[in-house]
Each structure stands twice: as C-alpha cells, then as structure tokens.
C-alpha cells in the first residue's frame, strides 16, 4: 500500500497501518538508535520508545519527509534514553574489550558473496567506522549520522536536530574532521576505504 495512505490510516488510529510503516522503517530507526547510543540494549529501548511516541504523535505529522519526521522522533528518544541511563547507569551484558568497544560485531554486516579476505577487510573497515562514530561527542555524532549516513540535507537536519543551519554546518565539519583523525589511527584503513568506495561507486 502507498506510504501516504498508510500514514492517513494510521492518523485515524489504525494500528495495522502504522505497523506496516514500522516494518518498513524499523531497520532505519534501529540503525540510527544503535549508532547514537553505541550499544544494542539502549538502542532497542530507544527504538521501542520512538515507535510508541510516533504512534501517539502521528496526528501531528503534516506532510514532508516521513523519514525525517521519524528520525526526529528517534533522535529525541535517544537523548531521553541517554539522560535516563545517565541517571541510572546500567552494565551491558555483552562482552566488551579494554577499549570499551564491542568485540562481537553484528553478523549481518558481512556479505555472504564476498571473498574471505575482502570480507574481513570490509568488516574491519565497518568496525573501524562504527568505533570512530562511537567516539564522537553525541552532538557531533547526531549531525554526521543524519547528513552522511541517513542522507538528509542541511535544512532537514536542522529541522530534525532543532538547531540553526549554521550550527549544523559547523558541527558537521568538525565531526568529519574528527572522523578523519580517528580513521587515520587505523593506518591503512582509510586507504582501503578509498578502494572500497571506488569499487562501489
């Protein structure tokens, strides 16, 4: 069914229509939450809260990009979750290494059709990017996720983050600068990244 039609039905209170939207967007929402929070338990909570909040607020949706609207909600849910975790710190049950990075990287990141060496290198690259994203301050992370990973333009990012356009521009530049510095620590990783990008592009 058409997305707009599903939204209209959901605005009338139809939970089934809303759940079809959930199925269409849950990977995107969870990805944003995971990268914002940096660990799966908090991401899971934030995603659940985001969809409940989206259902409760869907009557306030007034057109435009539904993806951007959802991203705004999940971003707010992540900030709420971060505040809650700050008040009541929890210990993750997942194994972590000494650098506070998760050693178990999600299996779905690997492409089954890849050569083992290439897959390992690509996996290492993705792990490096995720690790560098995690090291960014959350206000920089939020912006680079919205622009460079979710593909929003500056104006949409400004609306989603509730920040002036100038702040978005400067935070994005600083986030990219820090990402480059971080990836530089991985040695040949960034060179490999050039190659992967060249292959995919």
Interface with another protein (CB under 8 A): 15, 18-19, 22-23, 26-31, 34-35, 40, 44, 47-48, 51-52, 55-56, 84, 106, 108-109, 125-126, 129, 144, 147-149, 151, 153-154, 169-170, 172-174, 176-177, 179-180, 183-184, 190, 193-194, 196-197, 200-201
* Shortest distance in whole angstroms from residue 90 CB to another protein: 13
CA–CA distance, 51 with 30 (Å, rounded to integer): 10
Which of residues 163 and 169 has its CB atom nearest to another protein in the complex? 169
* Shortest distance in whole angstroms from residue 40 CB to another protein: 7
* Shortest distance in whole angstroms from residue 188 CB to another protein: 11
Which of residues 98 and 184 has its CB atom nearest to another protein in the complex? 184
* Shortest distance in whole angstroms from residue 86 CB to another protein: 14
Which of residues 98 and 105 has its CB atom nearest to another protein in the complex? 105
Long-range contacts of 118-125 (CB under 8 A, 24+ apart): 121/192, 122/196, 124/189, 125/189, 125/192, 125/193, 125/196
The two structure tokens encoding residue 30? 């969870």
Q: Alpha helix (H) ranges present in the chain? A: 3-11, 15-37, 40-57, 66-87, 116-135, 138-144, 154-161, 165-184, 189-200
The Cα-based distances of 28 to 57, 167, 192 in angstroms read 19, 25, 26
Which of residues 30 and 72 has its CB atom nearest to another protein in the complex? 30
Which of residues 47 and 75 has its CB atom nearest to another protein in the complex? 47
> Smallest Cα–Cα separation from 42: which of 57, 59, 54, 30?
30
């Amino acid at each position: 069914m058409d997305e707009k039609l599903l939204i209209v039905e959901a605005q009338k209170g139809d939970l089934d229509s809303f759940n079809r939207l959930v199925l269409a967007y849950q990977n995107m929402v969870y990805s944003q939450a995971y990268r914002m929070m940096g660990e799966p338990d908090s991401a899971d909570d934030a995603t659940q809260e985001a969809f409940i909040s989206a259902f409760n607020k869907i009557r306030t949706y007034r057109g435009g990009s539904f993806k951007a609207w959802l991203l705004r909600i999940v971003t707010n849910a992540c900030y709420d979750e971060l505040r809650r975790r700050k008040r009541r710190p929890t210990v993750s049950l997942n194994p972590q290494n000494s650098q506070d990075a998760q050693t178990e990287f999600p299996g779905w990141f690997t492409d089954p059709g890849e050569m083992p060496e290439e897959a390992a290198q690509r996996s290492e690259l993705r792990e490096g990017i995720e690790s560098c994203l995690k090291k960014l301050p959350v206000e920089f992370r939020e912006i680079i996720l919205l622009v460079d990973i979710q593909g929003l333009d500056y104006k949409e990012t400004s609306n989603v983050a509730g920040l002036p356009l100038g702040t978005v521009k400067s935070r994005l530049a600083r986030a990219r600068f820090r990402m480059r510095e971080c990836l530089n620590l991985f040695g040949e990783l960034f060179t490999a990244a050039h190659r992967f990008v060249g292959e995919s592009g």
